[in-house]
Structure 1
Amino acid sequence: MLKFEQVSIGYRNNQVLDNITVEFPEGKITSLIGPNGCGKTTLLQALNGSCRVTSGKIWVNDSDLFSLSPKERARQIAFLPQVRTTIPALPVRVLVEHGRFPYMGFSRKQSLKDTEKVHQAMEYANVLQYADEQVDKLSGGIRQRVFFAMILAQDSDYIILDEPTTFLDIRGQRDFLKLIGGLKEQGKTVVMVLHDIHQAMEVSDHIILMKDRQIIAQGAPEECIENGMVERAFDVNCLRFKKGEKEYYFFE
């Protein structure tokens, strides 16, 4: 269980979100969508300490998130931010190995399990061929997959992704979303911010719609379309058509 209970969040003296209560369905993919500035990223950043929870509780598997040690939190929740200000000049394999730090002792000596998890994460993210290359020399798209491999190596139950397709071309976005779909099959709970509404509708089991720094609707993707809440939140018209069994959404 990952749940926000009457949570207020801010940066320094600036209150951004107030009294948010929401629970993310376990073992499902949840996407947060909404206009720019509505608080999507701020909501997720409460989970990694990038912003401050001023009141309320965040529960993870029946524990208060902030009562856990940093290592315990990292074993529960893996976080892939949208933007990184510093790109480390490290070999890819070494960076992915950072994902195993929550499981290592003071010496940070890797066990056989750690080595296996790193290999599996790199294989899943399709970055094994870059294992010995420097991260800061890679293209933005490949680099994003490397950071994705690092959080996969954490082997956390909850995977949090803030606009994970930002640096990817169309094919890269498609392939990345397939990887995310595969995480659900492994029993992971995925929560992510997406700007592309069609992608969110296609890949998600659950949608959380935000506007004016509040959650205004949530439910299955088709419910959020059919009740008109997506159109109202973005001030757009939704066009739908089917090709075979697949339904497509266009917004104007």
Structure 2
Amino acid sequence: MLEFSHVSATCQHTKILTDISVSFPTGEITTIVGPNGCGKTTLIQCLNGVSKVTSGQIFLEHEDLLNIPLRERAKRIAFLPQVRTIIPTLPVRTLVEHGRFPHLGFSRRKTEKDREIVTRAMEFTHVETYADQYVDTLSGGIRQRVFFAMILAQDCDYIVLDEPTTYLDFIGQRDFLSLIRSLKENGKTVILILHDLNQALSLSDRLVVMQEQKVVATGTPDTCIQSHILEDVFHASLKQFHDKDGTYYFFE
């Protein structure tokens, strides 16, 4: 389990979060939702050091995460940010291999095991056919899958994704969410930020609802629906539709 205990945090010297306590159960998909500016990204950036934790503790499997060096954290938590201002001019396979760096020694020499992990990550995300193409020449959707392959190559049990479907069309989003479900089936713990509430409700085992830099609710999708917290936070009405394939959610 990953657990925040009374965490306060700043981003670029601005205080964003105060006294946040929330947990992310092992082996589940947990999605953080909330309006823009509510502190979602600041919260997860506490895990990779981009946000500075000024008080409180974060525990990863009962170990104090903040005492673990960043390189060692990268062996245990893989992080895909939403915004990348620089797109590297590298072949796809080379970029995916960057995910192995936390595991390599000083020589950065890759073993056969490293190469096998990279290949599996590329196959899982269906980017192996682009292996020799340069990342900056790819469409936004394929490029997103390549970055996803890179963090999968870290071979971590915890995977954190900030708005992973932002650059994807409908088919790309559907396929990407299917990949996330497969990660759970493979025993991974997945933490997401999503703006699409239908996706969040359909995909997640658990929701963390934030508003005004606070966690205002946690629970299963059904619990959050029944409490009307999503309608209150987003000032919207929820409508549900059912058919033989499942349940669909619409907010208006």
Alignment TM class, shorter chain as reference = over 0.9
Counterpart check, 1:141 vs 2:144: no
Instruction: State whether residues 80 and 148 of structure 2, in contact with CA within 8 Å, keep that contact through their aligned partners in structure 1.
Output: yes
> Could you tell me which residue of structure 2 aligns to residue 103 of structure 1?
103
Counterpart check, 1:14 vs 2:11: no
Instruction: State whether residues 48 and 70 of structure 2, in contact with CA within 8 Å, keep that contact through their aligned partners in structure 1.
Output: no
Give 1:112 shift.
1.0
Give 1:176 shift.
0.1
CA distance in 2, matches of 1:63, 1:99: 23
| Runs of 4+ with deviation above 2 angstroms | none
CA distance in 2, matches of 1:175, 1:74: 26
Structure 1: which 5+ runs fail to align? none
CA distance in 1, matches of 2:72, 2:41: 23
Give 1:63 shift.
1.6
Amino acid at match of 1:229: I
> Could you tell me which residue of structure 1 aligns to residue 178 of structure 2?
178
> Could you tell me which residue of structure 1 aligns to residue 189 of structure 2?
189
CA distance in 2, matches of 1:130, 1:238: 41
> Could you tell me which residue of structure 2 aligns to residue 46 of structure 1?
46
CA distance in 2, matches of 1:149, 1:57: 30
CA distance in 1, matches of 2:68, 2:40: 24
Instruction: State whether residues 77 and 159 of structure 2, in contact with CA within 8 Å, keep that contact through their aligned partners in structure 1.
Output: yes
Which residues in structure 2 correspond to 1:43-192 (within 5 Å)?
43-192=43-192
CA distance in 2, matches of 1:243, 1:60: 40
CA distance in 2, matches of 1:75, 1:116: 17
Is 109-118 or 236-245 further displaced after alignment?
236-245
Counterpart check, 1:207 vs 2:207: yes
CA distance in 2, matches of 1:122, 1:13: 38
Give 1:50 shift.
1.3
Give 1:245 shift.
5.2
Give 1:13 shift.
3.1
CA distance in 1, matches of 2:151, 2:12: 28
Structure 2: which 5+ runs fail to align? none
Identity %: 56
Instruction: State whether residues 38 and 213 of structure 2, in contact with CA within 8 Å, keep that contact through their aligned partners in structure 1.
Output: yes
CA RMSD of aligned residues (A): 0.8
Give 1:60 shift.
1.1
Instruction: State whether residues 11 and 42 of structure 2, in contact with CA within 8 Å, keep that contact through their aligned partners in structure 1.
Output: no
CA distance in 2, matches of 1:44, 1:75: 16
CA distances 1:44-93 after superposition (whole Å, capped 9, x unpaired): 11111111111111111222112112221001100000010111100000
> Could you tell me which residue of structure 2 aligns to residue 30 of structure 1?
30
Instruction: State whether residues 31 and 208 of structure 2, in contact with CA within 8 Å, keep that contact through their aligned partners in structure 1.
Output: yes
Counterpart check, 1:228 vs 2:228: yes
CA distance in 2, matches of 1:37, 1:98: 31
Q: Number of residues paired by the alignment? A: 252
CA distance in 2, matches of 1:34, 1:22: 15
Is 4-13 or 75-84 further displaced after alignment?
4-13
CA distance in 2, matches of 1:164, 1:179: 11
Amino acid at match of 2:173: Q
CA distance in 1, matches of 2:164, 2:183: 14
TM-score, length-scaled by structure 2: 0.98
CA distances 1:89-138 after superposition (whole Å, capped 9, x unpaired): 00000000011111110001111110000000000000000000001111
